[in-house]
Amino acid sequence: MNALAPQTGLLPGFNDPVADSQKMFRAVLEAMSRPGTIVTAPVLPVAPQPLNPVAAALILALADYETPLWLDPAARQPAAIDYVRFHCGCPLVEAPDQAGFALVTDAKSMPPLSAFHLGSDEYPDRSTTVIVQVPHLDGGEAWRLKGPGIRDQAILAAGQLPSAFKAWVQDNHALFPRGVDLLFAAPGQLAGLPRSTLLEG
Amino acid sequence: MQQQTKDTDARRQWMGVLAKSDESHVVQLWAGLSDLPAWEYLRRPEVGLVMVRGRMGGDGGPFNLGEMTVTRCSVRLQNGVVGHAWVAGRSARHAEMAAIADALMQDGDWRARVGEKLLAPLQSKLADDRGRAERKAAATRVDFFTMVRGED
């Protein structure tokens, strides 16, 4: 890497696009099928400001020209925009309810989950998958999770989320089979919270 | 705005030369460039297909001529200059050299050297090849004409 100006211009994506995307996709499958489990990210690319490497890896692995991407206002910076345009070629949308994927880098000021595309009864799979960048996955308010993929119960304690977040997730679950799926991207780790998961206490 | 168009035209021209040149010739001239700056991949060479489109007579309706194999690659120099290349064929090495050359041509310090040592010889070779093919074709040229038969 260039030590003088690591953030100038475009940054490289995955070292080996095919294998790295597959490894990352496998990690997402693991996180989504076992909600609340903390999965170690298998690859960590150099990320443009203000993304963390895990969020960048998720976007690289998931987004392509067929998936409209919504970036939260904090992420709408030239470095990040150029990065996703070049590596993913995905259309960027202004409205969160038009997005296939959404990236939230500043969780504190994120829109409610109901602002994203919730899918329809005919096509619940068309809802937005929201990637929320958080500073850590433990040490926040602990939620007890129940539902498919969880044997007894799982604990997730993602940090620095808006105070209403828990209520949003509960409302989101009530919409099932509609609703958004959540992925939390913390430094080096990720966790999933699909719409099928019930939040208790 | 005018300047920008000029730059784009110039870049289009050298990217075309790099893309259409023979890999062996590029490799041979590449050896003459020394002390190249450090660079890294933004996108490693990858092979794909593009649809070549044409217009009959240059202004007719567009049609698909056929698919061709291309290799693309993008690199970034140490100073942040980005170079892209799409070259004919499936040679990763060719695409890589073309991308580095594209980046160097946008860099003021390198432009003259790369232009003189790499681009100019490639371009004259392409022009020679084209001239030869044209002469060969011209030698077998037949002019058709029809006498008016005055039947109606």
Q: What are the DSSP calls for chain A, one per residue?
A: --SS-TTSS-----SSHHHHHHHHHHHHHHHHHSTT--EE-S------TT--HHHHHHHHHH--TTS-EEE-GGG-SHHHHHHHHHHH-PPB-SSGGG-SEEEES-GGGPPPGGGS----SS-GGGSPEEEEE-S-SSSS--EEEESTT-SS-EEE--SS--TTHHHHHHHHHHTTTSS-EEEEEETTEEEEE-TTPEEE-
Residues A70 and A57: their CA atoms lie apart, in Å, by 16
Q: Are strands B62-77 and B39-55 parallel, antiparallel or unpaired?
A: antiparallel
Residues 98-137 of B with CB under 8 A from A: none
So where are chain B's domains?
2-119
Instruction: Pick A111 or B151 by higher pLDDT.
Output: A111
pLDDT category at A201 given cuts 50, 70, 90 is: low
Q: DSSP characters for B70-109?
A: EEEEEEEETTS-EEEEEEESS-HHHHHHHHHHHHHHTSHH
Segment A167-171 mean pLDDT: 93
Helix (H) or strand (E) holding B50: strand B39-55
Residue owning tokens 């040149």: B21
Interface test with B, best of A10, A16, A83 (most B CBs within 10 A): A10
Per-residue pLDDT tens digits for A28-38: 999 999 999 99
Closest CA to B78 of B49, B56, B107: B107
Residues of chain B contacting A10 with CB distance shorter than 8 Å: 42, 74, 76, 82
DSSP B57: G
pLDDT category at A1 given cuts 50, 70, 90 is: very low
Residue B7: predicted pLDDT: 84
Cis peptide upstream of residue A177 (ω within 30 degrees of 0): yes
How far A88 CA sits from the closest chain B CA (Å)? 11
So where are chain A's domains?
17-194
The partner residue sitting opposite B43, judged by closest CB among A5, A8, A13, is A13
Per-residue pLDDT tens digits for B105-119: 998 888 888 998 899
Is 0.95 exceeded by the ipTM? Answer: no
pLDDT category at A152 given cuts 50, 70, 90 is: confident
Q: What angle is formed at CA B123 by the lines to CA B120 and CA B129, rounded to 5 degrees?
A: 140
Per-residue pLDDT tens digits for A118-128: 999 999 999 99
Residues A159 and B14: their CA atoms lie apart, in Å, by 51
User: Any residues with CB less than 8 A from the CB of A81 and at least 6 apart, and which?
Assistant: A71, A92
Say if residue A104's pLDDT is above 80.
yes
pLDDT category at A7 given cuts 50, 70, 90 is: very low
Say if residue A159's pLDDT is above 90.
no
pLDDT category at A6 given cuts 50, 70, 90 is: very low
Residues of chain B contacting A87 with CB distance shorter than 8 Å: 43
CB A21 within 8 A of CB B44: no
| Average pLDDT for chain A | 90
Is B81 in CB contact (< 8 Å) with chain A?
Answer: yes
φ, ψ for residue A187, nearest 5 deg: -55, 115
**Range A17-194 has CATH code 3.30.565.10:** no
Instruction: Pick B133 or A141 by higher pLDDT.
Output: B133
Q: Could you list the pLDDT tens digit for every one of the 152 residues in chain B?
A: 577 788 888 999 999 999 999 999 999 999 888 888 999 999 999 999 999 999 988 788 999 999 999 999 999 998 889 999 999 999 999 999 999 999 999 988 888 889 988 999 999 999 999 999 999 999 998 887 777 777 66
Interface test with B, best of A21, A86, A88 (most B CBs within 10 A): A86
Residue A10: predicted pLDDT: 84
Residue B109: predicted pLDDT: 86
